[in-house]
A and B are shown apart, each in its own frame.
Chain A
């Protein structure tokens, strides 16, 4: 569906979990080999993302797995290896690490190591990620940078229900294994008019959410809401920000960021995950290589601190709008 027809299509008020549900419903209807599985998905999932899908598509295609993430991942890879579509859920991104070996050593390298004789491209891992107000160490993590270091994977994070549906359908249909992180704080909080039909949002493309001239700000997922707020604060202060949603972490859209920074001369990258080894480092380094002569100020990374995610200290930990606003002042006044 083209962008134009996307905006003229019939829409329905949906939040993020209903938009994801809508995407999976379409994926299951349009692909009889597709199956959804994971812990507690049969009754609708602990975040309601798979509600009613078992009733519609049967218990063979929507089913609970035993409580074992490496099993879910290995099972999904095998299912996809014979050309069938696997939509596997990891209940929280914090619990994806037991499946790290299967995802990094197996899924990501499946095509390469066999000389393209075998692949598990019809595979998507969905996992809720990010801060939620009270998730502490193991219900708050943003592990995208671990996976961004793995050739062979795609890593995708949506910011709102419209993007979530289109990006999830694109991920499920992409001929490569995709890790799809869903900002769980937005499951209910983010509401929009979402096209009811079948559409995809292309992977590997960033989106300029708000054009501007003075500073480029890059983020993804739930952080986009925070950055919108930051841009409003900047606007009041007379600074025009260009806000970009990266959407796909790997492979990421260097060109869109590069073009923007050539224009603005200033870059801020912001994510919830800890600063050291976070994906902002990759973006900052690449843009520094490509836009050295255009940069008017050092690139700023506004990230989580290099600590585990503390329950009582969440408000202090998060790279909130005010911390980002401070970074804007810094690059503008440099």
Chain B
């Protein structure tokens, strides 16, 4: 599929040249080995006249295979059911922790409602050794790699068992063991970083790639431009994965860009692109698998744009009904939900039943609630650990400040006791 698309992009460029053939008056060589045809009529190349890049789809909105499509190779009943169970688990985790934030038990949360197909489809198609650089709405990728509900909850509660030692806001997960670089809030900074890591894998001749997730809003940052250009000029084995969910907080895509989404930008950087229906987990899986192969065999980056819809609010600090209609959200939930699409497909196949579905949802909800209870009962990391890990070693001035703080809180223990430390 991907190969076909790449070829069609190439073909359309030749078609384009043929279009101007009647006006061609020779050609010239320019630096970089580029041969440019000269024409005797002004040619305005308007992207609005180009065809929209199509999105690959395997399942329709009723969970039926589209004409000519098959269940992707490598996805058997066991794996499909497992992926579905993870989608439900993430969905239940989002429900529980969203509510926990509303109750003031954690300070912040971000759900992935509507993007479960995108994250699990892509997560299953890459290898555990591939390095993930995420934005923040890709917890599903980490979940698929084995991050436990307890580990998620520990991070959300900033408790003493959080791998990040309680320092970052909730949902900023990371795990070196699972090759998932720790999430940071500044948008798009991870994109050129993914390129640098990929370049390292290439020099080390390792059979692994970087996969870098980001939203369509983040793609407006300068770091997106930096990353794609660096990846292309240094031929880096990196897979750029754009989640186009229609909104960056309140900003709709019409205020974000006027080209054909993110995918259309690949060509300008010399990067092959694939667009996919992000609500179709099968399509995302297949496209990601193909792209990974292309990245490794071609020794160059590939850009995937997954088209989806952010069903939830941007975060717990956002009420999205202030800038979009409730009916619009409902429409997407009812007609184009990635979880429901998989469920319909599995029911159709006889792989799943309503009874199992209800039981699964109940069980996962209980599991998440148990993780929440466990995490909430644990204390915060000790106050002095605030001074650790600023540097590899602890410089003298930081040691002095640590001592100063400890003496201060020892002097006023009652004032600081309420913080739970």
Which residues of A come within 8 Å of B, CB atoms? 33, 35, 60-61, 63, 65-66, 68, 70-71, 73-82, 84, 86, 98, 101-102, 105-106, 109, 111-119, 121, 151-152, 154, 174-176, 204, 251, 254-255
Told that A71-B226, A81-B193, A112-B389 touch, could you supply 19 new A-B pairs with CB distance under 8 A?
A70-B226, A71-B223, A75-B193, A78-B197, A78-B199, A81-B197, A84-B200, A105-B184, A111-B389, A114-B163, A115-B163, A115-B165, A115-B167, A116-B389, A117-B164, A117-B175, A154-B391, A251-B391, A254-B396
Known: A74-B195, A76-B196, A82-B197. A66 touches B181 (CB 8 A): no
Docked Cα-Cα span, A76 to B165, in Å, equals 25
Query: Given A82-B197, A112-B167, A204-B395, A151–B390 Cβ distance below 8 Å?
Result: yes
B116 at the interface (CB under 8 A from A): no
The answer to whether residues A113 and B175 also contact, given A105-B189, A176-B392 and a CB cut-off of 8 A, is no
> What separation, in Å, do the CA atoms of A111 and B184 have in the docked complex?
12
Q: Nearest chain B CB to A1's CB is how many angstroms away?
A: 21
Interface flag for B176 (CB, 8 Å): yes
Which residues between 368 and 415 of chain B lie within 8 Å of chain A, taking CB atoms?
388-393, 395-398
Q: Are B395 and A113 in contact (CB under 8 A)?
A: no
A70-B226, A176-B392 given; A86·B196 CB < 8 A: yes
| Complexed CA–CA distance, A193 and B210 (Å) | 45
B107 in the interface (beta carbon within 8 A): no
B residues in contact with A74, CB < 8 Å: 189, 191-193, 195-196, 223, 226-227
Q: Which of B169-189 contact A (CB under 8 A)?
A: 172, 174-176, 181-182, 184, 186, 189
Q: Which residues of B contact A (CB under 8 A)?
A: 131, 133, 162-165, 167-168, 172, 174-176, 181-182, 184, 186, 189, 191-201, 203-204, 210, 222-223, 225-227, 229-230, 233-234, 388-393, 395-398
Q: A61-B203, A113-B167 are in contact. Are A81 and B390 (CB under 8 A)?
A: no
Q: Are B182 and A106 in contact (CB under 8 A)?
A: no
Instruction: Assess A254 versus B196: contact at CB under 8 Å? Given A63-B234, A115-B167, A118-B174.
Output: no
Q: Closest 10 A-B residue pairs measured CB to CB?
A: A74-B192, A78-B196, A71-B226, A78-B193, A79-B196, A115-B165, A114-B182, A75-B196, A175-B392, A251-B395
Q: With a CB–CB cut-off of 8 A, which chain A residues contact B162? A: 115
Highest count of chain B CB atoms <10 Å: which of A33, A151, A152: A151
Given contacts A71-B227, A105-B189, contact A79 B199 (CB under 8 A): yes
| Contact of B195 with A118 in the complex, beta carbons under 8 Å | no
**Residue from B189, B193, B201, B396 with most neighbouring chain A CB atoms (10 Å):** B193
Residue of A nearest to B168 (CB): A113
* B164 touching A75, Cβ below 8 Å: no
Given contacts A81-B193, A152-B390, whether A75 and B233 have CB atoms under 8 Å apart is: no
